Structure 1
Protein backbone atom coordinates (compact mmCIF):
# COMPACT_ATOMS: atom_id res chain seq x y z
CA UNK A 1 0.00 0.00 0.00
CA UNK A 2 0.95 3.64 -0.40
CA UNK A 3 0.49 6.11 2.46
CA UNK A 4 -0.13 9.83 2.67
CA UNK A 5 -0.74 12.30 5.47
CA UNK A 6 -2.84 15.44 5.15
CA UNK A 7 -1.32 17.77 7.72
CA UNK A 8 2.18 17.92 9.13
CA UNK A 9 1.81 18.72 12.84
CA UNK A 10 2.62 16.62 15.89
CA UNK A 11 0.20 13.78 15.11
CA UNK A 12 1.19 13.69 11.45
CA UNK A 13 4.88 13.50 12.26
CA UNK A 14 4.28 10.77 14.85
CA UNK A 15 2.38 8.67 12.31
CA UNK A 16 5.01 9.32 9.66
CA UNK A 17 7.65 8.11 12.12
CA UNK A 18 5.76 4.88 12.70
CA UNK A 19 5.33 4.32 8.95
CA UNK A 20 9.01 4.92 8.25
CA UNK A 21 10.02 2.63 11.13
CA UNK A 22 7.81 -0.05 9.58
CA UNK A 23 9.65 0.35 6.27
CA UNK A 24 6.86 2.20 4.48
CA UNK A 25 7.18 5.24 2.25
CA UNK A 26 4.95 8.15 3.24
CA UNK A 27 4.04 11.46 1.61
CA UNK A 28 3.44 14.35 4.03
CA UNK A 29 1.56 17.49 3.03
CA UNK A 30 0.34 20.75 4.46
CA UNK A 31 -1.29 23.93 3.22
CA UNK A 32 2.06 25.76 3.04
CA UNK A 33 3.43 23.45 0.35
CA UNK A 34 6.23 20.87 0.12
CA UNK A 35 9.12 23.31 0.57
CA UNK A 36 7.97 24.13 4.10
CA UNK A 37 8.35 20.47 5.07
CA UNK A 38 12.02 20.06 4.16
CA UNK A 39 13.27 20.02 7.81
CA UNK A 40 10.67 17.41 8.77
CA UNK A 41 11.50 15.22 5.78
CA UNK A 42 15.22 15.48 6.49
CA UNK A 43 14.63 14.26 10.04
CA UNK A 44 12.38 11.36 8.98
CA UNK A 45 14.79 10.08 6.33
CA UNK A 46 14.58 8.78 2.76
CA UNK A 47 11.30 6.88 3.17
CA UNK A 48 9.46 10.18 3.74
CA UNK A 49 8.78 12.79 1.10
CA UNK A 50 6.86 16.05 0.86
CA UNK A 51 4.01 16.53 -1.55
CA UNK A 52 0.82 18.42 -2.15
CA UNK A 53 -2.38 17.62 -0.29
CA UNK A 54 -3.71 16.09 -3.52
CA UNK A 55 -0.67 13.81 -3.74
CA UNK A 56 -1.05 12.69 -0.12
CA UNK A 57 -4.77 12.07 -0.61
CA UNK A 58 -4.05 9.92 -3.68
CA UNK A 59 -2.40 7.24 -1.51
CA UNK A 60 -4.10 3.92 -0.83
CA UNK A 61 -4.42 5.01 2.81
CA UNK A 62 -4.40 8.69 3.78
CA UNK A 63 -4.43 10.09 7.32
CA UNK A 64 -6.32 13.31 8.05
CA UNK A 65 -4.51 15.10 10.88
CA UNK A 66 -5.45 18.78 10.55
CA UNK A 67 -7.19 20.90 13.19
CA UNK A 68 -10.98 20.72 13.06
CA UNK A 69 -11.62 24.20 11.57
CA UNK A 70 -9.25 23.27 8.70
CA UNK A 71 -11.01 20.02 7.75
CA UNK A 72 -13.30 21.40 4.99
CA UNK A 73 -10.46 23.18 3.21
CA UNK A 74 -8.15 20.17 3.54
CA UNK A 75 -10.67 17.88 1.83
CA UNK A 76 -11.88 20.35 -0.81
CA UNK A 77 -11.21 19.94 -4.53
CA UNK A 78 -9.57 16.52 -4.26
CA UNK A 79 -9.83 13.78 -6.86
CA UNK A 80 -12.58 11.18 -6.31
CA UNK A 81 -11.65 8.82 -3.49
CA UNK A 82 -12.81 5.70 -5.35
CA UNK A 83 -12.66 3.48 -2.28
CA UNK A 84 -9.30 4.57 -0.93
CA UNK A 85 -8.99 4.59 2.86
CA UNK A 86 -9.17 7.85 4.82
CA UNK A 87 -8.16 7.58 8.47
CA UNK A 88 -9.76 10.43 10.40
CA UNK A 89 -7.67 11.36 13.45
CA UNK A 90 -9.47 14.64 14.18
CA UNK A 91 -11.55 15.79 17.13
CA UNK A 92 -14.41 18.23 16.56
CA UNK A 93 -12.85 20.95 18.68
CA UNK A 94 -13.82 24.31 17.22
CA UNK A 95 -11.39 26.26 19.42
CA UNK A 96 -9.17 25.67 22.44
CA UNK A 97 -9.42 29.01 24.25
CA UNK A 98 -12.16 29.20 25.21
CA UNK A 99 -12.72 25.49 24.71
CA UNK A 100 -15.58 24.82 22.30
CA UNK A 101 -16.78 21.62 20.65
CA UNK A 102 -18.40 21.96 17.23
CA UNK A 103 -22.14 21.29 17.23
CA UNK A 104 -22.84 18.76 14.48
CA UNK A 105 -26.34 17.91 15.60
CA UNK A 106 -26.93 14.19 15.27
CA UNK A 107 -23.75 13.58 13.28
CA UNK A 108 -20.47 12.28 14.63
CA UNK A 109 -17.27 13.99 13.57
CA UNK A 110 -16.31 11.15 11.26
CA UNK A 111 -19.71 11.11 9.60
CA UNK A 112 -19.15 14.78 8.86
CA UNK A 113 -15.69 13.99 7.48
CA UNK A 114 -17.10 11.16 5.36
CA UNK A 115 -19.59 13.60 3.87
CA UNK A 116 -16.68 15.77 2.73
CA UNK A 117 -14.87 12.78 1.19
CA UNK A 118 -17.49 10.87 -0.80
CA UNK A 119 -16.25 7.49 -1.94
CA UNK A 120 -13.65 7.20 0.82
CA UNK A 121 -13.69 4.27 3.22
CA UNK A 122 -13.40 6.23 6.45
CA UNK A 123 -11.84 4.86 9.63
CA UNK A 124 -11.85 6.77 12.91
CA UNK A 125 -8.68 6.31 14.95
CA UNK A 126 -5.98 7.98 17.06
CA UNK A 127 -8.28 10.79 18.27
CA UNK A 128 -8.72 9.29 21.75
CA UNK A 129 -4.98 9.40 22.47
CA UNK A 130 -2.94 12.40 23.56
CA UNK A 131 -0.10 13.04 21.13
CA UNK A 132 2.47 11.97 23.71
CA UNK A 133 0.96 8.46 23.64
CA UNK A 134 1.19 8.25 19.82
CA UNK A 135 4.74 9.46 19.33
CA UNK A 136 6.85 6.89 21.23
CA UNK A 137 7.06 3.14 20.80
CA UNK A 138 3.62 1.84 21.91
CA UNK A 139 5.20 -1.30 23.33
CA UNK A 140 5.80 -1.09 27.08
CA UNK A 141 6.91 -3.60 29.73
CA UNK A 142 3.35 -3.60 31.09
CA UNK A 143 1.74 -4.09 27.68
CA UNK A 144 0.94 -2.42 24.36
CA UNK A 145 -0.86 0.90 24.00
CA UNK A 146 -4.52 0.23 23.14
CA UNK A 147 -5.73 1.93 19.97
CA UNK A 148 -9.48 2.11 19.41
CA UNK A 149 -10.79 2.37 15.87
CA UNK A 150 -14.15 2.30 14.10
CA UNK A 151 -15.37 2.05 10.53
CA UNK A 152 -17.99 0.57 8.25
CA UNK A 153 -15.83 -1.29 5.71
CA UNK A 154 -14.53 -4.68 6.86
CA UNK A 155 -11.60 -4.87 4.44
CA UNK A 156 -10.47 -1.32 5.16
CA UNK A 157 -10.52 -2.05 8.88
CA UNK A 158 -8.52 -5.22 8.32
CA UNK A 159 -5.82 -3.29 6.44
CA UNK A 160 -5.72 -0.64 9.15
CA UNK A 161 -5.61 -3.23 11.95
CA UNK A 162 -2.66 -5.03 10.38
CA UNK A 163 -0.78 -1.77 9.86
CA UNK A 164 -1.09 -0.40 13.39
CA UNK A 165 -0.40 -3.83 14.86
CA UNK A 166 2.94 -3.63 13.02
CA UNK A 167 3.49 -0.22 14.62
CA UNK A 168 3.19 -1.96 18.00
CA UNK A 169 -0.25 -0.74 19.06
CA UNK A 170 -2.92 -3.10 20.39
CA UNK A 171 -5.79 -2.30 17.98
CA UNK A 172 -9.37 -2.71 19.19
CA UNK A 173 -12.26 -2.58 16.72
CA UNK A 174 -15.24 -0.91 18.41
CA UNK A 175 -17.69 -1.24 15.56
CA UNK A 176 -19.28 0.93 12.86
CA UNK A 177 -18.36 4.53 12.24
CA UNK A 178 -21.52 5.97 13.77
CA UNK A 179 -21.68 3.96 16.98
CA UNK A 180 -17.94 3.69 17.45
CA UNK A 181 -17.47 7.35 16.60
CA UNK A 182 -19.84 8.33 19.38
CA UNK A 183 -17.79 6.37 21.90
CA UNK A 184 -14.55 7.96 20.71
CA UNK A 185 -15.48 11.59 20.18
CA UNK A 186 -14.86 14.36 22.71
CA UNK A 187 -17.11 13.69 25.71
CA UNK A 188 -17.51 10.01 24.83
CA UNK A 189 -16.48 7.24 27.25
CA UNK A 190 -13.32 6.36 25.28
CA UNK A 191 -12.09 9.93 24.77
CA UNK A 192 -8.66 10.41 26.39
CA UNK A 193 -8.76 6.84 27.72
CA UNK A 194 -5.19 5.53 27.74
CA UNK A 195 -4.88 1.82 28.45
CA UNK A 196 -2.37 -0.98 27.95
CA UNK A 197 -3.13 -4.51 26.86
CA UNK A 198 -1.04 -7.49 27.89
CA UNK A 199 -0.53 -10.00 25.09
Structure 2
Protein backbone atom coordinates (compact mmCIF):
# COMPACT_ATOMS: atom_id res chain seq x y z
CA UNK A 1 0.00 0.00 0.00
CA UNK A 2 1.42 3.40 -0.99
CA UNK A 3 0.54 6.73 0.62
CA UNK A 4 0.70 10.38 -0.38
CA UNK A 5 -0.13 13.69 1.29
CA UNK A 6 -1.15 16.50 -1.05
CA UNK A 7 -0.54 19.83 0.65
CA UNK A 8 2.45 20.54 2.85
CA UNK A 9 1.24 23.35 5.08
CA UNK A 10 0.78 22.93 8.84
CA UNK A 11 -1.72 20.05 8.53
CA UNK A 12 0.22 18.26 5.77
CA UNK A 13 3.42 18.46 7.84
CA UNK A 14 1.63 17.27 10.98
CA UNK A 15 0.35 14.24 9.05
CA UNK A 16 3.84 13.63 7.64
CA UNK A 17 5.23 13.58 11.19
CA UNK A 18 2.71 10.87 12.15
CA UNK A 19 4.00 8.73 9.26
CA UNK A 20 7.64 9.49 10.14
CA UNK A 21 7.13 8.57 13.83
CA UNK A 22 6.03 5.13 12.71
CA UNK A 23 8.58 4.67 9.92
CA UNK A 24 5.87 4.49 7.24
CA UNK A 25 6.96 5.93 3.88
CA UNK A 26 4.74 8.66 2.44
CA UNK A 27 5.07 10.91 -0.61
CA UNK A 28 4.39 14.62 -0.12
CA UNK A 29 3.45 17.02 -2.89
CA UNK A 30 2.12 20.49 -3.56
CA UNK A 31 1.51 22.34 -6.79
CA UNK A 32 5.06 23.68 -6.40
CA UNK A 33 8.33 22.11 -7.48
CA UNK A 34 9.39 19.38 -4.95
CA UNK A 35 12.79 21.05 -4.50
CA UNK A 36 11.02 24.01 -2.87
CA UNK A 37 9.97 21.92 0.16
CA UNK A 38 12.59 19.14 0.07
CA UNK A 39 14.50 20.51 3.09
CA UNK A 40 11.29 20.73 5.18
CA UNK A 41 10.48 17.11 4.25
CA UNK A 42 14.03 15.95 5.07
CA UNK A 43 13.79 17.68 8.47
CA UNK A 44 10.78 15.50 9.34
CA UNK A 45 12.51 12.26 8.40
CA UNK A 46 13.81 9.94 5.67
CA UNK A 47 10.37 8.30 5.17
CA UNK A 48 8.97 11.61 3.83
CA UNK A 49 9.53 11.68 0.04
CA UNK A 50 8.98 14.96 -1.87
CA UNK A 51 7.38 14.37 -5.28
CA UNK A 52 5.58 16.24 -8.02
CA UNK A 53 1.79 16.24 -7.85
CA UNK A 54 1.66 13.97 -10.94
CA UNK A 55 3.91 11.40 -9.21
CA UNK A 56 2.24 11.61 -5.79
CA UNK A 57 -1.28 10.90 -7.07
CA UNK A 58 -0.11 7.45 -8.20
CA UNK A 59 -0.36 6.37 -4.53
CA UNK A 60 -3.14 4.00 -3.37
CA UNK A 61 -4.20 6.33 -0.54
CA UNK A 62 -4.12 10.10 -1.00
CA UNK A 63 -4.54 12.51 1.92
CA UNK A 64 -6.06 15.76 0.70
CA UNK A 65 -4.52 18.36 3.04
CA UNK A 66 -5.07 21.46 0.90
CA UNK A 67 -7.42 24.42 1.33
CA UNK A 68 -10.97 23.31 0.48
CA UNK A 69 -11.01 25.72 -2.49
CA UNK A 70 -8.05 23.84 -4.03
CA UNK A 71 -9.57 20.32 -4.01
CA UNK A 72 -10.83 20.59 -7.60
CA UNK A 73 -7.34 21.48 -8.88
CA UNK A 74 -5.94 18.33 -7.22
CA UNK A 75 -8.82 16.24 -8.61
CA UNK A 76 -7.83 17.30 -12.15
CA UNK A 77 -4.42 15.61 -11.71
CA UNK A 78 -6.05 12.32 -12.79
CA UNK A 79 -8.92 11.69 -15.22
CA UNK A 80 -10.20 8.91 -12.98
CA UNK A 81 -9.49 7.99 -9.35
CA UNK A 82 -10.71 4.39 -9.67
CA UNK A 83 -9.05 2.08 -7.13
CA UNK A 84 -7.83 4.96 -4.94
CA UNK A 85 -8.90 6.06 -1.49
CA UNK A 86 -8.99 9.80 -0.85
CA UNK A 87 -8.86 11.01 2.76
CA UNK A 88 -10.57 14.40 2.86
CA UNK A 89 -8.74 16.47 5.49
CA UNK A 90 -10.17 19.78 4.17
CA UNK A 91 -12.47 22.13 6.06
CA UNK A 92 -14.92 24.25 4.07
CA UNK A 93 -15.24 26.95 6.73
CA UNK A 94 -16.66 30.14 5.26
CA UNK A 95 -17.89 28.43 2.08
CA UNK A 96 -21.63 29.19 1.73
CA UNK A 97 -23.73 25.96 1.80
CA UNK A 98 -25.43 27.13 -1.46
CA UNK A 99 -22.08 26.83 -3.25
CA UNK A 100 -22.07 23.14 -2.26
CA UNK A 101 -25.63 22.62 -3.45
CA UNK A 102 -26.72 22.26 0.19
CA UNK A 103 -24.80 18.98 0.57
CA UNK A 104 -21.94 18.19 2.98
CA UNK A 105 -18.56 19.50 1.78
CA UNK A 106 -17.16 15.95 1.72
CA UNK A 107 -19.86 14.95 -0.79
CA UNK A 108 -18.73 17.81 -3.05
CA UNK A 109 -15.13 16.59 -2.71
CA UNK A 110 -16.21 12.99 -3.47
CA UNK A 111 -17.91 14.16 -6.68
CA UNK A 112 -14.70 15.92 -7.82
CA UNK A 113 -12.62 12.73 -7.40
CA UNK A 114 -14.44 10.63 -10.01
CA UNK A 115 -14.28 6.90 -9.28
CA UNK A 116 -12.38 7.33 -5.99
CA UNK A 117 -13.49 6.14 -2.55
CA UNK A 118 -13.70 9.03 -0.11
CA UNK A 119 -13.17 9.02 3.65
CA UNK A 120 -13.62 12.20 5.69
CA UNK A 121 -11.01 12.13 8.44
CA UNK A 122 -8.10 13.65 10.37
CA UNK A 123 -9.66 17.11 9.85
CA UNK A 124 -11.23 17.75 13.25
CA UNK A 125 -7.94 18.45 15.06
CA UNK A 126 -5.98 21.68 14.71
CA UNK A 127 -2.46 21.33 13.27
CA UNK A 128 -0.79 21.96 16.65
CA UNK A 129 -2.68 19.00 18.19
CA UNK A 130 -2.37 16.70 15.16
CA UNK A 131 1.37 17.44 15.26
CA UNK A 132 1.76 15.79 18.68
CA UNK A 133 2.39 12.13 19.45
CA UNK A 134 -1.09 10.52 19.65
CA UNK A 135 -0.05 8.46 22.69
CA UNK A 136 -1.52 10.47 25.58
CA UNK A 137 -1.51 9.44 29.28
CA UNK A 138 -1.67 5.74 28.40
CA UNK A 139 -4.44 6.28 25.82
CA UNK A 140 -4.56 7.20 22.14
CA UNK A 141 -5.80 10.40 20.53
CA UNK A 142 -9.08 9.92 18.67
CA UNK A 143 -9.53 10.56 14.94
CA UNK A 144 -13.05 10.54 13.52
CA UNK A 145 -13.75 8.86 10.16
CA UNK A 146 -16.87 9.05 7.99
CA UNK A 147 -17.47 7.40 4.62
CA UNK A 148 -20.15 5.93 2.38
CA UNK A 149 -17.72 3.10 1.55
CA UNK A 150 -17.28 0.45 4.25
CA UNK A 151 -14.11 -1.04 2.77
CA UNK A 152 -12.44 2.38 2.43
CA UNK A 153 -13.22 3.37 6.01
CA UNK A 154 -11.91 0.00 7.27
CA UNK A 155 -8.67 0.56 5.34
CA UNK A 156 -8.16 4.09 6.75
CA UNK A 157 -9.17 2.90 10.22
CA UNK A 158 -6.37 0.30 10.08
CA UNK A 159 -3.92 2.97 8.88
CA UNK A 160 -4.99 5.32 11.72
CA UNK A 161 -4.24 2.51 14.20
CA UNK A 162 -0.81 1.98 12.59
CA UNK A 163 -0.16 5.72 13.00
CA UNK A 164 -0.96 5.41 16.71
CA UNK A 165 -4.44 6.97 16.71
CA UNK A 166 -7.75 5.56 17.96
CA UNK A 167 -10.16 5.70 14.99
CA UNK A 168 -13.88 6.15 15.64
CA UNK A 169 -16.24 5.54 12.70
CA UNK A 170 -19.12 8.00 12.49
CA UNK A 171 -21.10 6.39 9.65
CA UNK A 172 -21.86 7.93 6.25
CA UNK A 173 -20.89 11.35 4.88
CA UNK A 174 -24.43 12.77 5.08
CA UNK A 175 -24.85 11.99 8.78
CA UNK A 176 -21.55 11.30 10.57
CA UNK A 177 -19.65 13.51 8.15
CA UNK A 178 -21.70 16.52 9.24
CA UNK A 179 -20.33 16.18 12.79
CA UNK A 180 -16.78 16.86 11.55
CA UNK A 181 -17.22 19.53 8.93
CA UNK A 182 -17.84 23.23 8.64
CA UNK A 183 -21.09 24.55 7.19
CA UNK A 184 -20.85 28.19 6.20
CA UNK A 185 -19.54 29.97 9.29
CA UNK A 186 -20.30 27.23 11.81
CA UNK A 187 -18.35 24.14 12.81
CA UNK A 188 -19.61 20.58 13.24
CA UNK A 189 -20.10 19.45 16.86
CA UNK A 190 -16.97 17.26 16.97
CA UNK A 191 -14.58 19.73 15.34
CA UNK A 192 -11.65 20.65 17.65
CA UNK A 193 -12.72 18.08 20.27
CA UNK A 194 -9.42 16.58 21.42
CA UNK A 195 -10.46 13.20 22.82
CA UNK A 196 -8.36 10.31 24.11
CA UNK A 197 -9.51 6.68 24.06
CA UNK A 198 -8.34 4.26 26.73
CA UNK A 199 -8.42 0.59 25.75
Give me the TM-score of the superposition, normalised by structure 1. 0.91
Secondary structure, aligned partner of 2:145: strand
Q: Distance in 2 between matches of 1:15 and 1:46?
A: 15
TM-superposition CA deviations, 1:121-166 (whole Å, max 9, x none): 1000011111111111111116221111101222211111111112
Kindly indicate whether residue 96 of structure 2 is the aligned counterpart of residue 102 of structure 1: yes
Partner of 1:177: 173
Q: CA deviation at 1:70?
A: 1.6
2:15 is the alignment partner of 1:19: no
- For structure 2, the 5+ residue unaligned runs are none
What is the aligned length? 193
Residues 54 and 79, structure 1, Cα contact 8 Å, conserved in 2? no
User: What is the root-mean-square deviation in Å for CA atoms of aligned residues?
Assistant: 1.4
Partner of 1:67: 67
Task: Identify the residue that residue 2 of structure 2 maps to in structure 1.
Answer: 2
C-alpha spacing 1:102/1:36, structure 2 compared with 1 (3 Å): farther
**Cα–Cα, structure 1 residues 197 and 27, in superposed 2: closer, same or farther, change >3 Å?**
same
Tell whether 2:157 aligns with 1:161.
yes
CA–CA separation in structure 1 for the residues paired with 2:17 and 2:79: 26
Q: Distance in 2 between matches of 1:118 and 1:197?
A: 35
Name 1:192's counterpart in structure 2: 192
Tell me what 2:49 maps to.
49
Q: SS of 1:177's equivalent?
A: coil
Distance (Å, rounded) in 1 between the aligned partners of 2:71 and 2:158: 27
